């Protein structure tokens, strides 16, 4: 019989869970997670595969995303490729997305159609069908997608180049959409091989959120996904490591379409799965430094008036290393060459004296915890956020409660991670800058 | 289809334990009047401890911007939450930020709008901040200048994107002399000319109780909502002073304009005049649009141009409805050498729709999508008050959502063909725009600079 993991773990001292999800693991190793939300008679059904662009072989960039497109071309149950048409005809919506760490497929439908979408999704996990001709036409589509997303967008081109340099030798340095010259060479067979190698229950997580009873979903999933054989699917291989960055790297793009200068800095830092405590402190640091009430905006835009916009992000949820990114739109009279020192000056001032206070930290923590209430204010949101965290290696318990661990972060922790990762004296500092300027 | 940036519609409520409601309602919207006499629509939903409000000052949108201050409405919307009463910009922003209160204002072409979301625990503070922003915005010089710079920066960075440039060119060509032609986000010189005095005058003269439209939702009773509304809005002047605006006259002769940029792709936008949401054919238009290019992968445009020919990542149609203009847009991006074949495919599809009935399957699938997906639009608390506001702005009955299914079900294949004929009788678009890469030998009017930016 199936057992639910959450019931056993509900101790009195457990902090409030964000999603209050229930979970089982099927005998074929596929995890099933359910968020009950009776607000509306609808359901979101998502399957997350723990395979993505970072798992492509060298020379095959874009393959994971290409396969994601081909998953809509047909399967035994839906031979004519009208998967989306069927979902639409029930009043639902569906789509899919690919990241470095995962590929996910989702449908939002009236709740009485849950079994229909589950049958179709399970079918394309096992019996994907597409012709070479269809696949070659779809390759033209993703080439156009690259032109639209990246090649027509100078700032996207800069991001792509900066990431490639920051993650030298690591698959995170490849664009998810793929390099243009490699996209042209992807073959229908390479997509089939990738599919056969990785798409299987042991690499998949099912997340269902909506007006359902978890027990019913577990039973349905056991009957549908539980019948699928793993067939010896491959687990992800270990990714290569990133070498040190020597010297000062600045990537400078000029573009005739650019009408103003953009400046960016990208740091390679640990994710939540790699260094939990530092990730908690970086999350608070980003809250204090970023945003329009943050320290960077306060200094650059309000006090010194050297920039018209600033940004500071930390994307903590990732399988391998992740990034802190800083963006600045300098005012016209500012010499961009001075920005690296100016940013370093702000960060250095934060780790000194009262640069960051207890109050700063407490307010950041209470804001993030308050905001977690909004996580449940939707049907698809919980499935999206929970699946994202599980597919990148968090346990369900961690996903439910990590927000409360922010309470453990103090001022010294926040100053500590700024010094450790964002300032150049540290051996853990891995960073480069980039800028986009108008053509002379 | 990539990455984790997604927008997804949501849903809401049909069975709630604490409210009594008719079983056959899509959304239990109720109409109320506050003690001070302000009318509003309310959707009570106790699922989560969240409160939301949407409001609009009807007709107070950026079409009121003076000719020499294009961007006035935009700058007001950005600066209203940058300091009010005794809180300066940083104090005001910090009060919002620290309590997870989402407050924003927006100047659309037609209306000036605002929305707020708060967790119940911080509701008193949230509505105090909203009250101050509406009644006593400071418009401090420092904050205005920051917002001015941010807007000018946004305009400059947008100029790198061919689709943004195409929209500017489309607005200029389609709207002609009408105030809609102006960029509602402002022009660089217009933003530079805006003064604090003009902003204060605008707020004083355009925000009145007579053009206020309100909707609330979430974890509060109608009485609680009414008290909040009176606190925020009852002190506004009764009347607002708005410009008389005439309807847009689309260009009499078709226009084709192109603007060349350094890009591997051509962005294509095409527009045909359509008709208002109040027209008897509105529901047939919704069905037609779903079949043509509103229905994702299964639409005629996506199937033909993307799935069969691989010419584009996306091609879509959508009707645009505003107070003084209604039209249908088809847009896409493709390689320059594919512009001509793509436009040909589009015109073939449009010709078929005007000559032949859609199939029974196309008709029934479109209807079941439009009806079945309606509740999916009302998921989050904000989406409830958002829908209730939109319906009022559109002049809908409070039961409009409940009547939607019967209107859609009544649409016939002949209706769809007739509406296709009304809009696409002339198969050449009224305005056709190409930006980015421009195909060789194109007979478009080549534009040297895009209007509505400087």
Predicted confidence band of residue B296 (pLDDT cuts 50, 70, 90): confident
| pLDDT at res. B26 | 86
| pLDDT at res. B2 | 38
- Window B:253-312, CB contacts with A under 8 Å: 261-265, 295-298, 306-312
Q: Say if B135 is an interface residue toward chain A (CB within 8 Å).
A: no
- Window A:249-278, CB contacts with B under 8 Å: 255-260, 262
Instruction: Tell whether A257 and A198 lie within a shared domain.
Output: no
Instruction: Tell whether A368 and A422 lie within a shared domain.
Output: yes
Q: CA-CA distance, B169 to B430, in Å (whole number)?
A: 13
Q: Which of B6, B374, B290 is nearest to A96 (CA)?
A: B6
The beta-carbon neighbor of B159 closest among A89, A145, A259 is A259
| pLDDT at res. A355 | 96
| A243 domain residue, yes or no | no
| A396 domain residue, yes or no | yes
Q: Say if A92 is an interface residue toward chain B (CB within 8 Å).
A: yes
Spell out a b/e string for B333-348, using b for 16 or more CB atoms within 10 Å of the CB, else e: bbbbebbeebbebbee
Q: Which of B33-47, B305-319, B366-380, B409-423 has the lowest mean pLDDT?
A: B366-380
Q: CA-CA distance, B284 to A189, in Å (whole number)?
A: 44
Q: Which of B170, B334, B340 is nearest to A151 (CA)?
A: B334
∠ CA A142-A146-A148, rounded to 5°? 110
Average pLDDT of B192-212? 97
Report the 10 Å Cβ neighbour count for B443: 7
The beta-carbon neighbor of A153 closest among B45, B161, B365 is B161
| pLDDT at res. A230 | 80
| A237 domain residue, yes or no | no
Q: What is the pLDDT of residues A108-120, one digit of tens each?
A: 999 999 999 999 9
Q: What is the pLDDT of residues A369-409, one digit of tens each?
A: 999 889 889 999 999 999 999 999 999 999 999 999 999 99
- Window A:145-184, CB contacts with B under 8 Å: 145, 147-149, 151-155, 176-177
The reply to whether CATH 3.40.718.10 applies to domain B264-436 is: no
Residue A285 has pLDDT above 70, yes or no: yes
CA A80 to chain B, closest CA, distance in angstroms equals 12
Higher-confidence residue of B147 and A18: namely B147
Residue A365 has pLDDT above 80, yes or no: yes
| pLDDT at res. A235 | 87
Average pLDDT of A15-23? 88
Q: Say if A69 is an interface residue toward chain B (CB within 8 Å).
A: yes
| pLDDT at res. B5 | 34
Q: What is the pLDDT of residues A156-181, one digit of tens each?
A: 999 999 999 999 999 999 999 999 99
Instruction: Tell whether A196 and A258 lie within a shared domain.
Output: no
Residue A81 has pLDDT above 90, yes or no: no
| A235 domain residue, yes or no | no
Q: Which residues have C-beta within 8 Å of that of residue A440, sequence separation ≥ 6?
A: A254
Residue B190 has pLDDT above 80, yes or no: yes
Instruction: Please tell me the total number of residues recorded for chain A in this structure.
Output: 440
Q: Which of A4, A3, A23 is nearest to A205 (CA)?
A: A23
Residue A6, H or E segment: helix A5-9
Hunting for tokens 């009873």 — which residue is that? A213
Average pLDDT of B219-225? 97
Cα B432 to Cα B167, B169, B313, distances in angstroms: 11, 10, 20
The strand order across the sheet containing A262-269 reads A250-255, A431-438, A262-269, A322-330, A307-314
Q: Say if B359 is an interface residue toward chain A (CB within 8 Å).
A: no
- Out of A10, A12, A36, A68, the active site residue is A68
Instruction: Tell whether A289 and A200 lie within a shared domain.
Output: no
Q: Say if A379 is an interface residue toward chain B (CB within 8 Å).
A: yes
A40 with B150: Cβ contact below 8 A: no
| A244 domain residue, yes or no | no
Instruction: Tell whether A271 and A385 lie within a shared domain.
Output: yes
| pLDDT at res. B11 | 27
Average pLDDT of B270-278? 96
Q: What is the pLDDT of residues B135-151, one digit of tens each?
A: 999 999 999 999 999 99
A65 with B261: Cβ contact below 8 A: no
Q: Say if A80 is an interface residue toward chain B (CB within 8 Å).
A: no
CA A3 to chain B, closest CA, distance in angstroms equals 29
Q: What is the pLDDT of residues A300-326, one digit of tens each?
A: 999 999 999 999 999 999 999 999 999
Number of domains making up chain A: 2
| pLDDT at res. A413 | 98
B160 with A257: Cβ contact below 8 A: yes
Give the tokens for residue A353. 């004296």
All residues of chain B having their beta carbon less than 8 Å from the beta carbon of residue A302 are 90, 142, 146
Average pLDDT of A175-194? 97
- Window A:327-356, CB contacts with B under 8 Å: 329, 331
Domain boundaries, chain B: 30-233, 264-436
What is the residue range of A59's domain? 5-227
Q: Say if B50 is an interface residue toward chain A (CB within 8 Å).
A: yes
A141 with B310: Cβ contact below 8 A: yes
Predicted confidence band of residue A196 (pLDDT cuts 50, 70, 90): very high
| pLDDT at res. B20 | 35
Q: CA-CA distance, B404 to B368, in Å (whole number)?
A: 12
Q: Say if A99 is an interface residue toward chain B (CB within 8 Å).
A: yes
| A338 domain residue, yes or no | yes
Average pLDDT of A2-17? 47
Please state whether B3 falls in left (phi above 0), alpha (psi between -120 and 50) or beta: left
A141 with B263: Cβ contact below 8 A: no
The strand order across the sheet containing B112-119 reads B30-33, B39-44, B212-218, B50-57, B112-119, B102-107
Q: CA-CA distance, A405 to B316, in Å (whole number)?
A: 45
SS (H, E, C) chain B: CCCCCCCCCCCCCCCCCCCCCCCCCCCCCEEEECCCCCEEEEEECCCCCEEEEEEEECCCCHHHCCCCCCCHHHHHHHHCCCCECCECHHHHHHHHHHCCCEEEEEECCCCEEEEEEEEHHHHHHHHHHHHHHHHCECCCHHHHHHHHHHHHHHHHHHCCCHHHHHHHHHHHHHHCCCHHHCCCCCCHHHHHHCCHHHHHHHHHHHCCHHHEEEEEEECCCHHHHHHHHHHHHCCCCCCCCCCCCCCCCCCCCCEEEEEECCCCCEEEEEEEECCCCCCCCHHHHHHHHHHHHHCHHHCHHHHHHHHHCCCCCCEEEEEEECCCCEEEEEEEEECHHHHHHHHHHHHHHHHHHHHCCCCHHHHHHHHHHHHHCHHHHCCCHHHHHHHHHHHHHCCCCCCHHHHHHHHHHCCCHHHHHHHHHHHHCCCCCCEEEEEECCCCCCCCEECCCCCCCC
Tell me if domain B30-233 and domain B264-436 are identical in fold.
yes
Residue B289 has pLDDT above 60, yes or no: yes
Instruction: Rounding to the nearest 10 degrees, give the CA dihedral for residues B381, B366, B170, B146.
Output: 10
Termini Cα distance of chain A: 70
Q: What is the mean pLDDT of chain B?
A: 93
Average pLDDT of B293-301? 90
Instruction: Tell whether A423 and A318 lie within a shared domain.
Output: yes
Q: What is the pLDDT of residues B79-106, one digit of tens each?
A: 999 999 999 999 999 999 999 999 999 9
Predicted confidence band of residue A14 (pLDDT cuts 50, 70, 90): low
Mutant choice from B376, B385, B454 vs A, greatest count of A C-beta within 10 A = B376
All residues of chain B having their beta carbon less than 8 Å from the beta carbon of residue A380 are 8, 10, 379
DSSP string, A82-136: -HHHHHHHTT-EEEEEE-SS-EEEEEEEEGGGHHHHHHHHHHHHH-B---HHHHH
Predicted confidence band of residue B23 (pLDDT cuts 50, 70, 90): low
Average pLDDT of B367-374? 94
| pLDDT at res. B441 | 84
Which of A159, A194, A227 is the last residue before a domain boundary?
Answer: A227
**pLDDT above 90: percentage of residues in chain A:** 89
All residues of chain B having their beta carbon less than 8 Å from the beta carbon of residue A255 are 160, 262
> Looking at chain A, which residue has its C-alpha nearest residue B122?
A370
Mutant choice from A308, A385, A391 vs B, greatest count of B C-beta within 10 A = A308
Q: What's the complex ipTM?
A: 0.90
Respond yes or no: is residue A12 known to be catalytic. no
| pLDDT at res. A15 | 64
| A119 domain residue, yes or no | yes
| pLDDT at res. B4 | 36
Q: Say if A76 is an interface residue toward chain B (CB within 8 Å).
A: no
CA A287 to chain B, closest CA, distance in angstroms equals 10
Q: Per CATH, the architecture of B30-233 is what?
A: 2-Layer Sandwich (3.30)
Question: Which CATH number goes with the domain that contains A23?
Answer: 3.30.830.10
Instruction: Tell whether A205 and A346 lie within a shared domain.
Output: no
């Amino acid at each position: 019989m199936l057992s639910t993991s959450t019931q056993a773990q509900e101790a009195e001292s457990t902090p409030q869970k964000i999603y209050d999800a229930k979970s089982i693991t099927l005998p074929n190793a596929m995890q099933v997670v359910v968020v009950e939300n009776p607000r509306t008679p609808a359901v979101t059904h998502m399957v997350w595969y723990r395979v993505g662009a970072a798992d492509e072989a060298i020379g095959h960039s874009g393959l994971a995303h290409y396969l994601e497109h081909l998953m809509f071309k047909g399967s035994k149950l839906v031979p004519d490729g009208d998967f989306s048409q069927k979902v639409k005809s029930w009043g639902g919506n569906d789509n899919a997305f690919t990241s470095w760490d995962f590929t996910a497929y989702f449908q939002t439908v009236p709740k009485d159609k849950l079994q229909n979408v589950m049958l179709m999704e399970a079918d394309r996990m096992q019996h994907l069908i597409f012709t070479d001709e269809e696949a070659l036409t779809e390759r033209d589509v993703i080439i156009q997608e690259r032109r639209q997303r990246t090649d027509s967008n100078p700032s996207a081109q800069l991001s792509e180049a900066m990431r490639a340099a920051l993650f030298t030798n690591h698959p995170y340095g490849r664009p998810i959409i793929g390099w243009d010259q490699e996209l042209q060479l992807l073959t229908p067979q390479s997509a089939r091989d990738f599919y056969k190698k990785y798409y299987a229950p042991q690499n998949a997580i099912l997340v269902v959120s909506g007006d359902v009873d978890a027990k019913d979903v577990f039973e349905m999933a056991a009957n549908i996904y539980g019948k699928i054989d793993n067939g010896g699917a491959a687990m992800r291989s270990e990714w290569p490591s990133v070498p040190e960055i020597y010297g000062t790297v600045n990537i400078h793009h000029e573009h005739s379409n650019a009408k103003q200068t953009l400046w960016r800095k990208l740091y390679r830092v640990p994710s939540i799965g790699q260094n939990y405590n530092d990730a908690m402190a970086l999350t608070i640091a980003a809250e204090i430094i970023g945003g329009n009430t943050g320290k960077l905006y306060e200094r650059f835009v309000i006090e010194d008036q050297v920039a018209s916009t600033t940004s500071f992000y930390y994307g903590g949820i990732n399988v391998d290393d992740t990034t802190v990114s800083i963006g600045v739109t300098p005012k016209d009279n500012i010499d961009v060459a001075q920005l690296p020192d100016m940013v370093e000056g702000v960060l250095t001032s934060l780790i000194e004296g009262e640069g960051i206070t207890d109050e700063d930290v407490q307010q950041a923590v209470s804001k993030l915890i308050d905001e977690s209430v909004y996580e449940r204010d939707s049907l698809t949101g919980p499935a999206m956020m929970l699946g994202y965290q599980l597919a990148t290696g968090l346990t369900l318990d961690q996903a439910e409660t990590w927000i409360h661990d922010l309470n453990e972060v103090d001022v010294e922790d926040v100053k500590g991670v700024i010094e450790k990762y964002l300032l150049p004296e540290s051996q853990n500092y891995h960073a480069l800058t980039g800028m986009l300027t108008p053509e002379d | 289809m990539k990455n984790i940036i997604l927008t997804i519609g949501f849903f809401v409520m049909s069975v709630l334990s604490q409210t009594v409601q008719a079983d056959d309602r899509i959304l239990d919207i109720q109409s109320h009047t506050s003690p001070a006499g302000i009318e509003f629509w309310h959707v009570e939903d106790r699922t989560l401890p969240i409160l939301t409000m949407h409001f609009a000052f009807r007709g107070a949108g950026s079409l009121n911007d003076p000719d020499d201050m294009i961007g006035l409405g935009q700058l007001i919307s950005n600066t209203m939450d940058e300091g009010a009463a005794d809180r300066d910009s940083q104090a005001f922003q910090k009060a919002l930020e620290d309590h997870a209160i989402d407050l924003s204002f927006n100047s659309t072409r037609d209306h000036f709008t605002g929305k707020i979301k708060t967790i119940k625990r911080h509701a008193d503070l949230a509505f105090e901040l909203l009250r101050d922003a509406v009644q006593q915005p400071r418009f401090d010089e420092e904050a205005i200048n920051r917002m001015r710079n941010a807007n000018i920066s946004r305009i400059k960075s947008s100029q790198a994107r061919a689709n943004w440039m195409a929209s500017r060119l489309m607005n200029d060509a389609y709207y002609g002399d009408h105030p809609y032609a102006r960029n509602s986000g402002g022009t660089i010189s217009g933003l530079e000319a805006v003064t604090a005095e003009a902003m204060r005058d605008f707020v004083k003269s355009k925000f009145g109780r007579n053009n206020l439209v309100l909707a609330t939702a979430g974890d509060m009773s109608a009485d609680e909502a009414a008290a909040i509304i009176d606190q925020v809005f009852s002190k506004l002047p009764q009347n607002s002073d708005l410009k008389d605006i005439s309807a847009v006259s689309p260009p009499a002769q078709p226009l084709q304009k192109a603007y060349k940029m350094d890009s591997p792709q051509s962005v294509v936008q095409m527009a045909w005049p359509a008709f208002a949401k109040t027209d008897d054919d509105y529901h047939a238009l919704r069905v037609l649009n779903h079949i043509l290019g509103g229905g994702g992968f299964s639409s005629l445009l996506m199937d033909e141009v993307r799935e069969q020919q691989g010419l584009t990542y996306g091609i879509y149609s959508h009707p645009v409805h505003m107070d003084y203009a209604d039209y249908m847009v088809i847009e896409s991006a493709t390689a320059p050498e594919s512009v001509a074949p793509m436009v040909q495919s589009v015109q073939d599809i449009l010709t078929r729709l005007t000559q032949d009935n859609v199939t029974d399957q196309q008709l029934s699938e479109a209807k079941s999508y439009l009806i079945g997906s309606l509740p999916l639009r009302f998921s989050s608390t904000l989406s409830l008050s958002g829908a209730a506001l939109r319906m009022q702005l559109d002049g809908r009955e409070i039961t409009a959502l409940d009547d939607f299914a019967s209107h859609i079900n009544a649409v016939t294949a002949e209706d769809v063909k007739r509406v296709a004929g009304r809009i696409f009788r002339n198969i050449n678009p009224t305005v056709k725009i190409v930006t980015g890469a421009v195909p060789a030998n194109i007979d478009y009017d080549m534009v040297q600079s895009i209007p509505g930016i400087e």
